[in-house]
Amino acid sequence: VLSLSVLIDGRPDVDVALSARLAEDLFGVVGETSELGSHQDRNFRIRAERGSVVLKVANRSWGRTPLEAQNAALRHIAAADAGFGAPVPIDGVDGHDLYEVEVGGDRIPVRLLTFVEGHPLATHDHLAPELVADLGRLAARTSLALASFDHPGLDRTVQWDLQIAADVVAALLGSVADRSRQALVADRTAAAAVAGRDPIGN
């Protein structure tokens, strides 16, 4: 059964001031703090003396084990020397790389990662073939680096898994108020599902 709790839960109630305090108290990091984008978590860039870092305040629906898996995977990629820059977890003042703090009555997970400079693809008006090819190479290198990785936190159903994309769309389709758009989304999703089952058109 598909759980969409991460999608329907609100983002953590953490602002710039609180994130700066968490970064200092948990990780000993101080610097100019600004919020980065995220639709379900809260991410804050901190320009510290030793370089920029990212404080990640996860949606409470994630749970601890999947986030431990994420941290372990990032360290695995770094150790594999995959040929590209990837963020890595930073230990806090007492040696942990994942904390749970109480905010608004909820226990929410907090981590700190190194910051990787770059530009989101969403800022590009057009994705040139060369850029798309680079993205493919990055995906391949990441897959190769993670081929030997395993962790109990990987056994989790998430909305990003394209194998269950049709189920995710079906669960959220009612949130599209415009009936014509709703029908269009349903039609395109059904077509994509058919193409995915028979990619060569037999």
CB atoms near residue 186 (< 10 Å): 15
pLDDT digits (tens, 9 = 90+) for 28-65: 999 999 999 787 899 999 999 989 999 999 988 888 99
pLDDT tens digits along 3-16 = 454 454 568 889 99
In this predicted structure, the answer to whether residue 1 has a pLDDT above a threshold of 50 is no
Residue appearing with tokens 């320009």 = 47
**Strand 31-36 and strand 42-48: pairing?**
antiparallel
CB 183 within 8 A of CB 189: no
In 3-state terms, what secondary structure has residue 7? helix
Average pLDDT, the chain: 88
Q: Give how far Cα 168 sits from Cα of 38, 59, 74, 176, 184, Å.
A: 19, 18, 27, 13, 16
Alpha helices in 60-199 (DSSP H): 64-80, 129-146, 165-172, 179-197
In the numeric block, the tokens 């395109």 are attached to 188
Residue 56: beta bridge partners? 43, 111
Nearest to 69 by CA among 29, 117, 109, 35: 109
pLDDT for the residue 197:
64
User: Is pLDDT at 2 greater than 80 in this prediction?
Assistant: no
Q: Is 165 exposed, middle or buried (0-12, 13-18, 19+ CB in 10 A)?
A: middle
pLDDT at 124: 85
Tokens of 98: 């994942």
Residue 152 Cα distances to 4, 13, 68, 115, 149, angstroms:
20, 29, 9, 26, 11
| pLDDT tens digits, 119-142 | 888 888 899 999 999 999 999 999
